[in-house]
Amino acid sequence: MATITQTKTATEARLSTQPKLPAPSETKLPKIQKIPTFTDKYEQRKWEKSQMAAAFRIFAKLGFADGVAGHMSLRDPVHPDLFWINPYAKHFSQINVSDLVLVDEHGEIQEPTKYTVSKAGFIIHSVLHQMRPDINVAVHLHSPYGRAWSAFGRPIEMLVQDSCYFYDDLSVYEGFGGTVLAKEEGMNLARALGPKNRNIILQNHGIMSCGATVGEAAGFFIALERACHTQLLIEAAAAGGVPKKYIPREEAEYSKRYDYTQENTYMSFQPEYQCMLAETNGSFLQ
């Protein structure tokens, strides 16, 4: 115990003597492109739906499609009590803007469509949207590494730079029960997520990310899936006797505050969007 106490004290002493990290404005970094804003809510709807359709194509390309599992919900900018969701049993790689389905908070379809939706799955999202009005988009997919890491019921550790996406912004829901009691599960999930976090690990199930825009939620989801992959690799090495080296709290907090903002998370998705736009010649915009 004496050795542990001494090590901790030495670490704290090192941090206390370090100069305070400057804010980015003090280092004259170039300004990050802002998230688009709209005065016309119909134009905003068009933009968000194009981002959403592209996100599904990108998720498929990254290997996150898994049969009928997985969905994304988008609060409609025109009618905030309605939501767009992907059609049930349509492969992510084939989803176009016109395929997205408009539903109310109960999962009832609001416009003519040839598709159905995962009603119970959406109701979980619906309750989350109601309890967290700042969340306009929620993404839950059965991605391989998020699903594997969820079996531990543990958060991501601050071990590499990109883990800092989730510093003080990641919850763990230990009792996730799927869609058996959808409304109750939605309430439990929202409580586990808390008043400010935007990412959550559903124990024995997978991961979920949220945001104010499709780009933010999708950017978070991709980053969390990759963080789970990294964590699994590190755990495998550590099991062989390789010690972990953690990012100090101050540096992790700084990275989250200035590097992994809502704007930067949104921007991290935009190269993926532009790539999909070029690869498909914009076919998903139909």
Per-residue DSSP letters for 243-273?
A: PP-PPPHHHHHHHHHHTS-HHHHHHHHHHHH
- Say which residues have a Cβ less than 8 Å from residue 226's Cβ, sequence separation at least 6: 145, 162
To which residue do tokens 């919900």 refer? 73
To which residue do tokens 């492109």 refer? 33
User: What's the CATH number where 178 sits?
Assistant: 3.40.225.10
The answer to whether position 144 is within a domain reads yes
The answer to whether position 105 is within a domain reads yes
Q: How far apart are CA 249 and CA 78, in angstroms?
A: 41
Q: How far apart are CA 246 and CA 159, in angstroms?
A: 5
Span between the terminal Cα atoms of the chain, in Å? 64
β partners of residue 137 = 74, 211
8 A C-beta contact, residue 256 and residue 164: yes
How many domains is the chain built from? 1
Q: What are the tokens at 171?
A: 């919850």
Q: What is the mean pLDDT of residues 100-121?
A: 94
Q: What is the mean pLDDT of residues 161-183?
A: 87
Q: What is the mean pLDDT of residues 89-97?
A: 97
Above pLDDT 90, what percent of the chain? 82
- So what's the pLDDT on residue 266? 97
8 A C-beta contact, residue 72 and residue 137: yes
Each residue's pLDDT tens digit, 54-85: 999 999 999 999 999 999 999 999 999 999 99
- 12 has pLDDT over 70: no
Quote the distance between the C-alpha of residue 170 and its chain's center.
10
- 136 has pLDDT over 60: yes
Q: What are the tokens at 178?
A: 């799927």
The answer to whether position 276 is within a domain reads yes
The answer to whether position 159 is within a domain reads no
The answer to whether position 229 is within a domain reads no
Reported as half-sphere exposure (CB side, CA atoms, 13 A), residue 265 has a value of 31
Higher per-residue pLDDT: 207 or 124: 207
The answer to whether position 22 is within a domain reads no
The answer to whether position 240 is within a domain reads no
Q: How far apart are CA 158 and CA 246, in angstroms?
A: 6
Tell me the residue range of the domain where 85 lies. Answer: 39-154+171-213+270-285
The answer to whether position 232 is within a domain reads no
8 A C-beta contact, residue 41 and residue 111: no
